[in-house]
Amino acid sequence: MLWGFAFSAQKAASDVPPFTLGAIRSVIAVAFLAALIPALDKFTKNGRKILTDKKRPDLTKIELIGGSVAGIILAVASAFQQTGLGEGTDAGKAAFITALYVVIVPLASLLFGKRPPLNVYISVPIAVVGFYFLCIKQGFSLVTSDLLVLICALIFAAHIIAIDYFSPSCDGVRMSLVQFAVAFLVNAVLALIFEMPLNTHLIAERLPAILYLAIGSSGIAYTLQIVGQKDCDPTVASILLSLESVFGVIGAALFLGERMLAREYFGCAVVFVAVILSQLDFRDIGAALKIKKGKNENKT
């Protein structure tokens, strides 16, 4: 829900240059998490502190590496997403295009020698059909802003895979702190190169949206993703993550008054069906049906 509503905040702050916005929301997220960690350490009694006795950040090697990898990927993905929104893609539409990462993640497992189940091969063409109705305009042309958001979905798939790999060995909140520190550095350097001088008046006007992105979407939601993926079944986690697309459209209607054409709503529905279908296991469903059938026969 926090991610879905963030599309409206991103749209509201779409006139802030993407690297500048990314740097500001990331540094605020770092401050938020740095203030939160001591309280969490005390509550969980994990024996850790924000700083070691040698006054160094209390971070493990895997937290530094995992957070750095996730931070670089996140900075690049967010830049593509924010640029797409700034170039004209509606918040609701961007939410559904971004949800394609849930279909992409199982396909990416092929790179690691794992063959996805049959339902993934079925869901991919369904998602493509939904994307067509959602984004292809008259004349069969793809709007550039939609393409940027689609690239963002591809990169976010890598972000999910990276978190799945590193999070089991990390303190999720500390890994998230490193993630946003690195994302800040990447965005700040690019902002200094491409987006100077800084328009402080515009940033002040968009501050409510920026604060929501920094604390709600970044500090809380992205951190909960890392913590949740550590112990949650990947299928359940992916289905829940995909619901950001639904809340994205709801948020766009509630906060921005956006409306889409009937064909675009149909495309949203088709993409969402593909997202859910990509996470179902036909073998588990078949086994469950067999068990239920056997119980019914025994009763008879």
Within 10 angstroms of residue 122's Cβ, the number of other Cβ atoms is 14
Residue with tokens 């879905």, as numbered in its chain: 4
pLDDT at residue 249, rounded to an integer:
81
Distance CA 260, CA 295 (A): 48
Distance CA 149, CA 137 (A): 16
Distance CA 198, CA 165 (A): 37
pLDDT at residue 129, rounded to an integer:
87
Low pLDDT (below 50) residues in the chain: none
Quote the pTM value.
0.84
How far CA 202 is from CA of 60, 63, 197, 208, 209, in Å, comes to 39, 35, 12, 12, 12
The closest of 28, 79, 64 to 182, measured between CA atoms, is 64
Residue with tokens 């491409």, as numbered in its chain: 194
The closest of 68, 256, 99 to 170, measured between CA atoms, is 68
> For residue range 26-69, what is the model confidence (pLDDT) as tens digits?
999 999 999 999 999 998 888 888 888 788 888 999 999 999 99
SS3 51: strand
Q: For the CA atoms of the chain, what is the radius of gyration?
A: 21
pLDDT at residue 193, rounded to an integer:
95
